[in-house]
Amino acid sequence: MHLAAINLHPVKSTAIRPVEEAYVGRAGIVGDREWMVVDGSGKLVTAREMRELFTVVADTPATGGPDGVDLLLSRAGMDPLEVSAPGEEAPMVDVRLFEKALTARAVGDAADAWVRKALGRDDLRLMWCADPAKRPMNPAKYRPGEYASFHDSSPVSLISDASAAQIDEWADDDVPVGRFRANLLIGGVAAAFAEDDWKEVAIGGARFRVAAPIDRCVMTTIDPETLTSGKDPLRTLAVHRKWDGKVWAAIHLAVVHPGEIAVGDEVVVSE
């Protein structure tokens, strides 16, 4: 088995940014979901309710963005914006990531104005995760010392090529693997959903613990190119992969040992 792809999403719900190599830290892969958009109440805004986020490209040094620029925002028809991570003088803001109450650092007026123009809403703000270690994690799934930035749950997500191919084969509509927005795609896996039974995963210099399977939401039904939505893969998963009232595909990982990873690295698992 080998690491077939690494995908980052610097601002939560924005375009996928594939990279050839990356560093895995305690809070996840550097450059992944370290920024997010919130509404006027501080609640997270994702492509679930504002699919135009898929049209925004966010780059950091980790994704090949320009040197000296913490975040570069771009979108067709707009001038790009260079953004610096806010310093300690920037206000800390109470925000909500789904049911989780967090604090984040406000990025500033220029970034807010750009995001509002790009997405067509005048109440949006851009936030940066200043201290992932302060984020509370679900104690039923995560251990002390395990934390994440603005990820839904775990710092890293993984799906195998065999699982993605099986879901696509079952489905009436095309379901490309990108619909699952997993950080890591594993190639050469012998059987679909083999990752359900993995306990630990070693890739390059990093080692992970499997924390939980991933229950899937409506975001997987949105085509990131056309912004239209259909019934798959949720319809298909409801037939083949439904239990506890949810549908499942891919796995959450917690970081046991940080390190460098690269496409092509051998993948070693324990069950």
Span 212-253, pLDDT tens digits? 999 999 999 999 999 999 999 999 999 999 999 999 999 999
* Mean pLDDT confidence for 111-131: 97
Let me know how many helices (H) and strands (E) the chain has, helices first.
3, 20
Cβ within 8 Å of residue 22, ≥6 positions away: 6, 8, 29, 30, 31, 62, 260, 261, 262
Average pLDDT, the chain: 97
pLDDT at 10: 98
Q: What are phi and psi of 171, to 5 degrees?
A: -75, 150
**Beta carbons within 10 angstroms of residue 212's beta carbon:** 16
Q: Express each pLDDT in 2-25 by its tens digit.
A: 999 999 999 999 999 999 999 999
CA 85 to chain centre: 19
What does the alpha-carbon distance between residue 239 and residue 236 come to, in Å, rounded to a whole number?
5
What does the alpha-carbon distance between residue 66 and residue 83 come to, in Å, rounded to a whole number?
11
Q: Are 6 and 22 in contact (CB under 8 A)?
A: yes
Within 142-240, strands assigned E span: 156-160, 184-187, 200-203, 206-215
Q: Are 120 and 52 in contact (CB under 8 A)?
A: yes
- Helix residue ranges, H only, 57-149: 109-119
What does the alpha-carbon distance between residue 252 and residue 239 come to, in Å, rounded to a whole number?
22
Q: Express each pLDDT in 25-61 by its tens digit.
A: 999 999 999 999 999 999 999 999 999 999 999 999 9
3-state helix, strand, coil in the chain (%, to 5): 20, 35, 45
Quick check: 108 pLDDT over 90?
Answer: yes
Q: Express each pLDDT in 55-101 by its tens digit.
A: 999 999 999 999 999 999 999 999 999 999 999 999 999 999 998 99
Quick check: 136 pLDDT over 90?
Answer: no
Q: Which helix (H) or strand (E) holds 35?
A: strand 35-38
